[in-house]
Chain A
Amino acid sequence: MTPAPRASLTAALTIAILFALVLAVLLGESPLSAAQLAEAFRDPSSGPGLVLWQVRAPRAATAVLVGGALGLAGAVMQGLLRNPLADPGVLGVSASAAFAAAVAIVLGLAAVPGAVEASALAGAGAAGGLLVLFSARVRSPEALILFGVALSSFAGAATALIFNLSPSPIASAEVMGWLLGSVQNRSWIDVAWVAPAALLAAGLARLAAPGLRMLSLGEETARTSGLPMARLRVLALLATSLAAGAAVAVAGVIGFVGLAAPHLVRAAVRGDPGRLLRPSALAGGLMLVVADLLARIVPTDQELKLGVFTALVGAPLFALIAWRAAREWRL
């Protein structure tokens, strides 16, 4: 109905992301002089060139893609469950992916390239598969949330059990690093991992968009609308599992981006969950690249973990959203 505001929103977010990417490449823990920056642009294989193009650039690109995947997953999930507090964490997709990654780490697979990532993606896929099976049998969104919460708790407990039983403190520390979430030391290989998964998830989500829009009016209206809701629901769950799984696979557990990104842009699309997908993905990407930049340049002895940083900012935001939603709808 209102394509112009959405187009300008997309343009504004895209420009903001490009600007943030430039900053993320230029700024860092070890400041480079103008001469060094010039050298980096002249000769990418020089020392400063390597810092810019092999350290900072892939890290920033990973942050944008992971944030975008989480923003997309959050928007899909909130639309699917008609719940402003839903995000990939709520349904247990992130926790399941983290658990699978932890298993791979304690099994000593961290040395095998891509093994931990593949394991995380498989964990997310398994959680997504369970959710699809469950939602095919039980259509109530409340029941799906309860199932997701149970799945999340179970995966969390299983991960804790790994800590509990792990014979090696090194493996435990590595699992901990994963759980805290970070895009530190990510390479172009990681970008190549997450980019196709995020794009595929975006394509699936786009197909599911009419169903998400119709679900705004409730389950019964959606089911009698004539749209193939069962198929659209499966597409949406696949999109969200793939996006969240790819994000966890590459960056570990990063909370609250999936929750907050849709809220930042919802008013601009007049609440429409179908039109929310792209702006939410862009907002998620922007949030994470900015958060990572801040985590990098804030002077601390140990670099702040991105997941910790987003949770510290995100948890109060979560409370604020819950408060406002309760007031608006008298929940």
Chain B
Amino acid sequence: MSALELAGATARLGGRAVLEAVDVAVAPGELVALVGPNGAGKSSAIRALAGLLPLTSGEARLGGDAVHALSGRERAARVAYLPQERRIAWNLPALEVAALGAPFLAGSQAIAAARGALAQVEAGHLVDRGVAEMSGGERARVLLARALAADAAALMADEPIAGLDPDAQLMVLELLRGRARAGQAVLASLHDLTLAARHADRVVVLDAGRVVAEGPPLEALGPGVLARVFGLSGRWMETPEGPLLSGVRYSEGSDGGVRRSGSPSNPG
């Protein structure tokens, strides 16, 4: 049974369809990356699963049950959600922020869970520092620790590595993969296709609210999808560290043809 599942999910925001008949399923032990251009529906899919975006048709399920049939507490036990928004209203110390991931545990247990989670994101040294005195990357780690401290059956992270330095990006992705290996179902939206291909078990490609490809990373992100969805002329290269996308941007020439406009190593 899938821990996270969207079945024929359709949703509208301000009259615009943001999800159209989307099917996504994440099983326990699996790390699935949601990829797609800006506005493709990645955040909407995650928010629908969190019960934050009402569907006009289809269903969002957590552990087999419709998200809207579950109480708030049951939902929280089945999935921890790390939103893209990283603003924290007050200058709380990291330990208190992480402890908010476990609001139903007794104080000392919540603190222990928070300490453990902060250590996992290599932020043990930040325990007592206020979030207003941290860099954006440090704050992102502390917020991830909050989601880890929840110790839910599944974990959803909306762009968890955006704005992080390369070392922290790898740390976060390895951590997410470790959580999946430990049996959690993990769904993360990512922009970096190379990192998605290296770390995810499966990739779901969204475009304009629809799933356009799904499967093992290199199959889902074939040349056709790279061109159609991402506007890239790209190919995958095998390197000792894993697959690497080498691509250039398609741009329409005056003759209607396609010409190369650069050579980014990590496009997207």
| A→B interface (CB under 8 Å) | 1, 82-83, 210, 213-218, 220-221, 223-229, 266-267, 270-273, 328-329
Known: A217-B146, A224-B75, A226-B74; 9 extra A-B contacts, CB below 8 A, are A1-B95, A1-B96, A220-B47, A221-B85, A224-B81, A225-B76, A226-B75, A267-B91, A273-B90
B130–chain A nearest beta-carbon distance, Å: 7
Question: Interface extent on B, as a size class?
Answer: 20 to 34
List B contacts of A270 (CB < 8 A): 91-93, 96, 130
* Of B51, B72, B99, most A-chain CB atoms within 10 Å: B72
Residue ID in chain B nearest A82 by CB atoms: B89
Contact sample, A vs B, 29 pairs, CB 8 Å cutoff: A1-B95, A1-B99, A82-B89, A82-B90, A83-B89, A214-B100, A215-B89, A216-B90, A216-B92, A216-B97, A217-B89, A217-B97, A217-B100, A217-B146, A218-B83, A218-B88, A220-B85, A221-B81, A223-B52, A224-B50, A224-B80, A225-B72, A226-B75, A226-B77, A227-B72, A227-B103, A228-B72, A271-B90, A273-B89
B88 and A216: CB pair below 8 A? yes
Secondary structure at chain B's binding surface: helix, strand, loop or mixed?
A: mixed
Q: In the complex, how many angstroms separate the beta carbon of B148 from the nearest chain A beta carbon?
A: 14
* A320 and B59 alpha carbons, distance in the complex (Å): 49
Name, among B72, B75, B89, the residue most crowded by chain A CB atoms within 10 Å (CB to CB).
B89
* Chain B positions 49-87 with a Cβ under 8 Å from a chain A Cβ: 50-52, 72-77, 79-81, 83, 85, 87
Q: Are A220 and B97 in contact (CB under 8 A)?
A: no
A213 nearest CB neighbor, chain B only: B100
Chain B residues near A229 (CB, 8 Å)? Answer: 72
Given A226-B103, A270-B96, A329-B132, also A216-B89 (CB < 8 A): yes
Q: How far is the CA of A267 from the CA of B90 in the complex (A)?
A: 10
- Which of these, B74, B87, B90, B103, contacts A225 with CB under 8 Å? B103
Interface of A is mostly: loop
Contact of B143 with A by CB under 8 A: yes
Instruction: List, in ascending order, chain B residues with CB within 8 A of A213's CB.
Output: 100
CA–CA, A226 and B74, complex, Å: 7
Closest chain-A Cβ to B108's Cβ sits at a distance in Å of: 10
| In the complex with contacts A213-B100, A270-B96, A270-B130, A226-B85 CB distance below 8 A | no
Residues of A within 8 A of B103 (CB): 210, 214, 225-227
| A227-B71 Cα distance, complex, nearest whole Å | 10
Question: Nearest-CB distance from A321 to chain B (Å)?
Answer: 13
Q: Give bound CA distance, A266 to B132, whole Å.
A: 14
Query: Complex Cα distance A225/B72, Å?
Result: 7
B132–A328 CB distance below 8 A = yes
Expressed in whole angstroms, the Cα–Cα distance for A220 and B53 within the complex equals: 11
A43 to B16, CA, bound (A): 78
Is A224 within 8 A of B100, CB to CB? Answer: no
Contact B91 A271 (CB under 8 A): yes
Closest 8 CB pairs of A and B: A226-B76, A271-B90, A82-B89, A226-B73, A271-B91, A220-B83, A224-B81, A216-B89
A328 / chain B contacts, CB cutoff of 8 Å: 91, 132
Bound: A266/B130 CA distance, A: 13
Residues 96-137 of B at the A interface (beta carbon under 8 Å): 96-97, 99-100, 103-104, 111, 130, 132
Bound form: Cα–Cα A270–B89 in Å: 12
- Smallest CB gap from B72: residue in A: A226
Asked whether, in the complex, the Cβ of B85 is within 8 Å of the Cβ of A218, the reply is: yes
In Å, the complex CA distance between A271 and B133 comes to 13
A199 to chain B, nearest CB (A): 26
Q: A1-B93, A1-B95 are in contact. Are A217 and B143 (CB under 8 A)?
A: yes
Report the Cα distance A217→B87, complex, angstroms: 7
Task: Write the nearest CB–CB distance from A290 to chain B, whole angstroms.
Answer: 26
Instruction: Name the distance in Å between A219's Cβ and chain B's nearest Cβ.
Output: 8
